[in-house]
Amino acid sequence: MENLALIESFSEFKGDKNIDRVTLMAILEEVFRAALKRKFGSDDNFDIIINPDKGDLEIWRNRIVVADGEVEDPNEEIELSEAQKIEPDFEIGEDVSEEVKLMDLGRRAILALRQNLISKIYEHDSTNTFKHFKELEGDIYSAEVHHIRHNAIILLDDDGTEIILPKSEQIRSDYFRKGDSVRGIIKSVELRSNKPVIILSRTAPEFLEKLFEQEIPEVFDGLITIEKVARIPGEKAKVAVDSYDDRIDPVGACVGMKGSRIHGIVRELGNENIDVLNYTKNTELFIARSLSPAKVASMVIHEEEGRADGKKGRVEVFLMPEEVSKAIGKNGVNIRLASQLTGFDIDVQREGIEMEDDVELSEFSDEIEGWIIKEFSNIGIDTAKGVLDKSVEELVSRTDLEEETILEVQKILKEEFED
């Protein structure tokens, strides 16, 4: 392979990968020096001159002239008679520069050199892509659907970079076709086998935050801050906002006239219902607001430091009977979000029921399986009376439990109170 053809093939990589001239020359020299070192044992006495734009490549080996028969290192020394074949005027002790042709390295060495160069250029490209997207972690990014798999959607951006949207990071109502533009946040960027793996997410709470920044100027400008976000993607979200300027109504500014400002966000998230509420450092007031639209009569907060699940503690919230279903919400969604938002486990109680007459469901873990207790907890029922006060029909409709299971649980709980 001639020098010119080889360098022209290198220039093709430069065009494909958008590698700047200085970087390409550095990679070329590194690869050529590695080949020379394998061939001659050292590359210290070689000069490499590369012009990738023109396709020029010159390799010069520098050696010292010694007397015939006194060469100790043929890579760094040349006999006088050999030097005078290059130039008759050479004398002992002088430096001789002799051009080395690529063909002198041998065909195998040239093929290995080219493969090594391709590998280096792709490695450089992958590293640059990794660095670029690592800086974009947590930011909104758009890409086009390229391929749809059963467990992920493969996206390509304008530069042809592959981005993965896993099934777990898609909103349940998401439906995309090839060629559709998809927005999400760059959730994570990793290098695996020198290839950047970029994960996009549409379910992360941070995606909702970034959408607020994009759609609501006061949030973008920092006049309104998003303090807390809790989401059940595609169903419902609660966003706590605050403003340091008393003249600005943060909730009103985010929602807009008749929901005009938040409508675009709701549509982007598959009609996810978004509650916006005023943030406060007053824990009791914040818990009460988080349970909206329910009106809380009273509450008892139990702070619990150092919990393994990271929760701040537990709170008993007392409501009038007609407010209980509002606090819990359909399928327990409202109370779950309130718990995420505030950092407290929330135990909803009807006003008038004394806790000392009640028993935590967790106390029955030896008789009632944990997953059944969790089903009740998901709809805000954590005590025995909470289960007994509900009809079997209501519990069947609000949980994934069978009627037979609920009847058995109520039987166990009734026996406890009879005892």
Give the list of residues 6+ apart from residue 122 with CB closer than 8 angstroms, or none.
17, 194
Domain shared by 45 and 154, yes or no: no
| Alpha-carbon torsion (177, 179, 185, 190), positive or negative | positive
Encode pLDDT of 130-156 as tens digits.
889 999 999 999 999 999 998 999 999
Domain shared by 125 and 55, yes or no: yes
Residue 372 lies in a domain: no
Residue 381 lies in a domain: no
Encode pLDDT of 355-391 as tens digits.
456 778 887 887 888 889 888 888 888 888 888 888 8
Residue 194 lies in a domain: yes
| Domain with 147 in it | 138-202
pLDDT of 7: 55
- Domain ends where: 279, 304, 326? 279
Count the domains in the chain.
3
Domain shared by 38 and 126, yes or no: yes
pLDDT of 4: 46
Query: pLDDT under 70 in the chain at which residues?
Result: 1-22, 52-56, 352-357, 417-419
CA-wise closest residue to 290 among 249, 345, 334: 334
Domain shared by 195 and 210, yes or no: no
pLDDT of 353: 47
Domain shared by 121 and 147, yes or no: no
- Domain ends where: 171, 202, 233? 202
- Domain ends where: 224, 250, 279? 279
Residue 324 lies in a domain: no
Domain shared by 171 and 211, yes or no: no
Residue 370 structure tokens: 């944990």
pLDDT of 340: 93
Distance CA 317, CA 303 (A): 14
Domain shared by 177 and 119, yes or no: no
Give the list of residues 6+ apart from residue 167 with CB closer than 8 angstroms, or none.
150, 151, 152
Domain shared by 55 and 96, yes or no: yes
Residue 137 structure tokens: 């972690």
Residue 153 structure tokens: 């959607």
Residues present in the chain in total = 419
pLDDT of 17: 53
Domain CATH code at residue 96: 3.30.1480.10
What are the backbone angles phi and psi of residue 46, rounded to the nearest 5°? -110, 140
First to last CA, the chain: 95
Residue 117 lies in a domain: yes
Residue 250 lies in a domain: yes
Domain shared by 197 and 208, yes or no: no
pLDDT of 53: 59
The SS3 call for residue 64 is strand
Distance CA 46, CA 37 (A): 10
Domain shared by 275 and 215, yes or no: yes
Residue 327 structure tokens: 């606090």
Residue 249 structure tokens: 């109504």
Distance CA 367, CA 45 (A): 83
pLDDT of 197: 94
Domain CATH code at residue 225: 3.30.300.20
Domain shared by 103 and 128, yes or no: yes
Residue 127 lies in a domain: yes
pLDDT of 88: 86
pLDDT of 418: 64
Domain CATH code at residue 143: 2.40.50.140
CA distances to 1, 126, 130, 399, 410 from 120, in Å:
20, 10, 15, 57, 68
Residue 81 lies in a domain: yes
Domain shared by 8 and 126, yes or no: yes
pTM attached to this predicted model:
0.63
